[in-house]
Amino acid sequence: MPHSTRSDRRVAPGVDRLGDDVVNFYLVEEGDGLVLVDAGLPTHLKQLRAHLAGSGRVLTDIRAVLLTHGHPDHTGLAHTLQQAGADIWVHASDAAILRDGPRSALRHAKPERSMLPYLLRRPAAIATPLRLARAGAFTAPATPDVRVFDSDRQLDEVPGAPQAVLLPGHTPGSTGYLFAERGLLFTGDALVTHDGLTGHTGPTLVCRGFTHDSHTAMASLDRLDELTGATLLLPGHGQPVTGDSRTATRRARQAGSH
């Protein structure tokens, strides 16, 4: 993302979209504390500090980090924020990636396909993994001793008491977070609106070069359809989606798996 003001980053009352044109993470203001949904890349630390400082806050004001999954482009600041005092939450099926470090993602959540076919069809796609590497995605410290859950549940310990909703497929522990009273659904990479390898824009699944089980990922769209109260979908990549979430999931099904 280009240089922007706090108002440019606001996507809903009390919700700011951080990151860049490759990956999103979100700061959520609740009455009883700040929550970060996903943890970006290591190089986003300066941006996060500056954004917090704009409202007189610091890293230690973040009480919880909700990880939608264990991939390194979503966990880059997890260790730093844990050291600052935040609880790091992730589904139990992805906790091993945090414990063993970002390079272990290829072992714990191996993609269905190699990236090579995508790069041959669209050479410009090499920019995405190269940018992640330069941003320290694959060399960030491991984050042991995270908080885990193993099924859908309301996280009463987290400001705003969001509901964790298991959406497996992209990784075994991919999870969405629903702040029902605010109409917010953070989908992580279970549903995105931009795929860096294929270049696809609009609601879609992440391609099989980055997805562990595309059949299960497609089935998780049905779980999204069952949720009520969400009027704003906030994905891990691409622009937010407003309106009926079923319109977004229908478009994702039509786009298919690539």
Instruction: Classify residue 240: in a domain, yes or no.
Output: yes
Instruction: Classify residue 214: in a domain, yes or no.
Output: yes
Does this model's pTM top 0.85?
yes
Phi and psi at residue 45, to the nearest 5°: -60, -45
Residue 75's CATH number: 3.60.15.10
Instruction: Classify residue 1: in a domain, yes or no.
Output: no
Instruction: Classify residue 215: in a domain, yes or no.
Output: yes
Beta bridge partners of 60: none
Instruction: Classify residue 163: in a domain, yes or no.
Output: yes
**Would you state the pLDDT for residue 140?**
96
Count CB neighbours of 33 within 10 A.
Answer: 15
Instruction: Classify residue 90: in a domain, yes or no.
Output: yes
- Mean pLDDT by 10-residue block, N- to C-terminus, for the chain (258 residues)? 64 97 96 96 98 97 98 98 98 98 96 94 93 95 96 97 98 98 97 96 97 98 93 97 93 94
Quote the domain boundaries for residue 142.
Answer: 6-255
**Would you state the pLDDT for residue 2?**
43
Instruction: Classify residue 203: in a domain, yes or no.
Output: yes
**Would you state the pLDDT for residue 135?**
96
**Would you state the pLDDT for residue 172?**
98
**Would you state the pLDDT for residue 3?**
47
Count of structural domains within the chain: 1
- DSSP string computed for 17-46: EEE-SS-EEEEEEETTEEEEES---GGGHH
**Would you state the pLDDT for residue 126?**
95
